[in-house]
Structure 1
């Protein structure tokens, strides 16, 4: 559990750092469209950091389930938000990594679907 919470805390801190960096250092360097894309990456990262925090503090999941959900959401953050950061911060061509962002979105969907399934299963048992 603490390993997952450590990862979550690190991702949370990085979210704040990247958000502040975007708001202050990138505002004049990026186009409005690129800035909106960057902000979307930061926002999705924070949403999923919060979900990771709840998942890993929830006593109703086994450690295996917590690890699986942590893996899905963390990989989703790395692929979805990470690819957008690469494009906007390092000038990586979106055409060269076009498949990575949607793959991150798919990992988010898989995580949320598994979360739905587990909560549905729990609610039907009660």
Structure 2
């Protein structure tokens, strides 16, 4: 369910930015939106990999880190693109750290799982 929601929302928000916001956002805002969608999409795919992996205990950490990263990183960029106050940008690096933690957890889990096969 979480993977489907992450992927579908990436597509919806990408289309929304490309069509409905095309003439509303300035160049900087549009770039923020595009970056948010790209990271959202890639990490929805990473979330799917984590869900189907045999990464043991690290799997759960990877899944929730990717989900939290999507909300914090991409969510803060979406908000900034739509005119949220600049202080919202404080959240963005924490989302980036969540993404990094997710990748590390997934890598460690997959490495450990490959040894047990």
What whole-Å deviation, never above 9, does each CA across 1:10-69 have from its counterpart, x for those lacking one? 1111111100000001111111121111011001000011111122122x233x433221
- 3-state SS, counterpart of residue 97 of structure 1: helix
- Where in structure 2 are the equivalents of 1:54-69 lying within 5 Å? 54-58=49-53, 60-62=54-56, 64-69=57-62
CA pair 115-74 structure 1, distance change in 2 beyond 3 A: same
| Aligned length, in residue pairs | 117
- Structure 2 counterpart of 1:121: 112
Q: Give the TM-score taking structure 2 as reference length.
A: 0.89
Answer 1 or 2: higher relative contact order, Cα 8 Å, separation at least 6. Answer: 2
- Where in structure 2 are the equivalents of 1:23-102 lying within 5 Å? 23-58=18-53, 60-62=54-56, 64-89=57-82, 91-94=83-86, 96-102=87-93
| Matches of 1:113 and 1:107, distance apart in 2 | 10
- Structure 1 counterpart of 2:94: 103
Stretches of structure 1 lacking an aligned partner (at least 5 in a row): 1-5
Q: Give the TM-score taking structure 1 as reference length.
A: 0.83
- 3-state SS, counterpart of residue 98 of structure 1: helix
| Matches of 2:69 and 2:46, distance apart in 1 | 12
Stretches of structure 2 lacking an aligned partner (at least 5 in a row): none
| Matches of 1:113 and 1:61, distance apart in 2 | 11
Deviation at 1:123, TM superposition (A): 4.4
CA pair 99-45 structure 1, distance change in 2 beyond 3 A: same
Deviation at 1:87, TM superposition (A): 1.2
